[in-house]
């Protein structure tokens, strides 16, 4: 799908009211036939080809109704940070199960899942992490995203769905802290990864790839062309002069997750 040309007929975005959803929505609505936007937060259609649904991911019946006639789903809805495990299991894991179930029952050709770099945040910064490396979650949120990937793999292997998971980096307008020099995902590259993932020819199978900008200091492998046909264009290094501490060399033994790997980050969601 090139910019300005007709793409897949109908694309659905869950979590369309969120920070990534809003950006991808604006980019895709001029490119696809119809955009179906779902969130538990009410949205308003802004163009004639947008349809909006106020739906909770925990309501499988309403979710399936909203997805009737859809050609590809971009599943961004969920809890995007550390939280109590019961909440993460409900919204991220069960919610993803409901999306994949709707895709199976409705024979939706393509599902794109929002994974996270935090599924493997305990690798040290000196390690070049590949999406094939075993998971090393840096917290409960990372555990929920490992389950999201496992569900995607299951639905591909068992039911022949075409599922691609994007392990999203740090989605920010601009990088603002030293860790972002490695992990930044620019809005332009987020759109590029999502567009490529949604428009890849739907072949049965599961793929998981990192979605990160072309940062000189990144510690994650970019997708191989056969995995996903998108080459990121932005580089956090171009912003380094404005980032305090950018000139301090990264500790090669420190966790890639940085502060998220600290016990306190998770302990606040556990009983004392
Ligand atoms: N922003 C990042 O840097 C980043 C990094 C890695 C992964 N991700 C993942 O990408 C996805 C989108 O991230 P984001 O930054 O846009 O998050 P966000 O919090 O801005 O948006 C998430 C959206 O999901 C919706 N939502 C939450 N629970 C719901 C429910 N039960 N039913 C229906 N909708 C529900 C929220 O209302 C919200 O609009 C998430 O899955 C997140 O885990 C984001």
202 confidence band (pLDDT: 50, 70, 90): confident
Whether the CB of 114 sits within 6 Å of ligand 1: yes
pLDDT (0 to 100) of residue 8? 62
**CATH number of domain containing 39:** 3.40.50.720
Residue 33 lies in a domain: yes
Catalytic residue among 123, 141, 210, 260: 141
The model's pLDDT over 50-106, given as tens digits with 9 standing for 90+, comes to 999 999 999 999 999 999 999 999 999 999 999 999 999 999 999 999 999 999 999
Residue 234 CA from chain centroid, whole number? 18
CA 249 to ligand 1 centroid distance, Å:
32
The model's pLDDT over 108-158, given as tens digits with 9 standing for 90+, comes to 999 999 999 999 999 999 999 999 999 999 999 999 999 999 999 999 999
The phi and psi torsions of 183 (rounded to 5 degrees) equal -105, -5
CA 147-56-169 angle, to 5 degrees, is 45
The model's pLDDT over 225-265, given as tens digits with 9 standing for 90+, comes to 999 999 999 999 999 999 999 999 889 999 999 999 999 99
Residue 151 lies in a domain: yes
Residue 83 lies in a domain: yes
Does pLDDT of 1 surpass 50?
Answer: no
139: domain range? 10-267
Residue 165 lies in a domain: yes
Residue 148 lies in a domain: yes
The model's pLDDT over 78-93, given as tens digits with 9 standing for 90+, comes to 999 999 999 999 999 9
The question of whether 155 is a catalytic residue gets the answer no
Residue 25 lies in a domain: yes
Residue 272 lies in a domain: no
Query: Could you give the number of structural domains in the chain?
Result: 1
Residue 1 lies in a domain: no
pLDDT (0 to 100) of residue 125? 98
């Amino acid at each position: 799908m090139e910019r300005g040309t007709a793409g897949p007929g109908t694309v659905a975005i869950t979590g369309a009211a969120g920070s990534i959803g809003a950006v991808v929505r604006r980019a895709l609505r001029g490119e696809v036939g119809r955009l179906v936007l779902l969130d538990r937060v009410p949205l308003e259609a802004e163009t004639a080809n947008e349809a909006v649904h106020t739906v909770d991911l925990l309501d499988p019946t309403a979710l399936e109704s909203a997805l009737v006639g859809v050609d590809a789903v971009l599943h961004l809805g969920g809890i995007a940070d550390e939280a109590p495990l019961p909440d993460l299991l409900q919204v991220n894991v069960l919610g993803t199960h409901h999306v994949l179930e709707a895709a199976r029952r409705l024979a939706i050709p393509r599902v794109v899942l929002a994974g996270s770099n935090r599924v493997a945040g305990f690798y040290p910064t000196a390690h070049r992490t590949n999406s094939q490396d075993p998971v090393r979650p840096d917290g409960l949120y990372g555990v929920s995203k490992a389950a999201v990937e496992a569900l995607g793999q299951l639905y591909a292997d068992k039911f022949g769905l075409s599922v691609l998971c994007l392990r999203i980096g740090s989605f920010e307008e601009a990088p603002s802290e030293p860790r972002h020099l490695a992990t930044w995902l620019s809005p332009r590259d987020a759109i590029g990864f999502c567009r490529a993932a949604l428009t890849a020819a739907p072949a049965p199978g599961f793929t998981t790839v990192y979605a990160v900008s072309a940062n000189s200091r990144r510690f994650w492998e970019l997708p191989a062309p056969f995995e996903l046909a998108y080459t990121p264009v932005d580089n956090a290094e171009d912003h380094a002069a404005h980032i305090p501490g950018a000139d301090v060399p990264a500790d090669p033994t420190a966790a890639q997750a940085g502060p998220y790997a600290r016990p306190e980050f998770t302990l606040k969601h556990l009983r004392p």
